[in-house]
Amino acid sequence: MMNQPVLWDELTWEQLTALREQGMNLVILPVGATEQHGLHLPVGVDTFSAIAVAHGVSAQTGIPVLPALPYGCSLGHSKKWAGTVSLRPETLATLVLEIAEWVYSAGFSRLLLLNGHVTNWAPLRCGLENVRHTYPDLRIALRSLWEISPRIHEFYHQDAANFHANCAETSVMLALRPDLVQMDKAMDEPDRSASCFFAYTVNHESVHGAVGSPSKGDRAFGEQILQLCIDELSTQLKKALTEGTPLEELPPPAMH
């Protein structure tokens, strides 16, 4: 029987305290986005995928998952297409710091920011810098779904380096919420940013808001991506639960 994920917002304060006192010291914060994903996908793709992986990992490891942030830094999607709701990068960085304050005050000493949207990375990294400076005893990590392992990275990028609503994301949504995918509207577009020197917003790169080959989306491929993300990250986090600093893990000096 599959274990259920441990969800922060479904527990009482007493249950969270007991979890901590039993030795659980790590918490996962999924961070998604609300932004256009072409003609064929809903605007919640990045949030759906981050939550799915976080919950899958929690079911395997018992690590609690905070309520997801459904808004990210999506300024690059412009206001051309309806649906995008974006935070400024400094706002997202501040949210990370303020959430970390309360995770730390609850007695949890390790925090993973699990990112589902490409341009969240820089604001989340800024948030990470502020957290480890403000709370030196709180260990914090940042991982994007496509960075969990080299193989996963390859899956996400196989049809576009600057992927968005591509084959991988379409496949993941076919696995998670096929009812929200309109495959008859999937429009393939090349990665026009690949040869550019400057950074452009999506409305200057894509006609319909997607990049890559979403028409090749496949549910089985999406299930493979999700399961690999969950299995790989679970393995990494089981080690991270007891990881010491590099100096703490040095072998003891030889006795003379």
Walk me through the domains of the chain, giving residue ranges and CATH numbers. 8-239 (3.40.50.10310)
* Residue for token pair 């942030």: 69
Has residue 156 got a pLDDT over 70?
Answer: yes
What is the number of other CB atoms lying within 10 angstroms of the CB of residue 2? 7
**Residue 252 pLDDT class (50, 70, 90 cuts):** confident
**Residue 256 pLDDT class (50, 70, 90 cuts):** low
Q: pTM for the complete prediction?
A: 0.95
Helix axes 219-240, 150-157, angle to 10 degrees: 150
**Residue 217 pLDDT class (50, 70, 90 cuts):** very high
Q: Average per-residue pLDDT in the chain?
A: 96
CB burial string 196-221: b at 16+ within 10 A, e below: eeeeeebeebbebbbbbbbebbebeb
User: What are the tens digits of pLDDT across the range 65-79?
Assistant: 999 999 999 999 999
Average pLDDT over residues 130-151: 98
Has residue 254 got a pLDDT over 80?
Answer: no
What one-character-per-residue DSSP string does 11-50 give?
S-HHHHHHHHHTT--EEEEEE--B--BTTTB-TTHHHHHH
Closest residue by Cα to residue 148 from 225, 68, 227, 229: 229
Has residue 191 got a pLDDT over 80?
Answer: yes
**Residue 249 pLDDT class (50, 70, 90 cuts):** confident
Has residue 250 got a pLDDT over 90?
Answer: no
Has residue 2 got a pLDDT over 90?
Answer: no
Average pLDDT over residues 140-158: 97
Q: What is the structure's pLDDT at 90?
A: 98
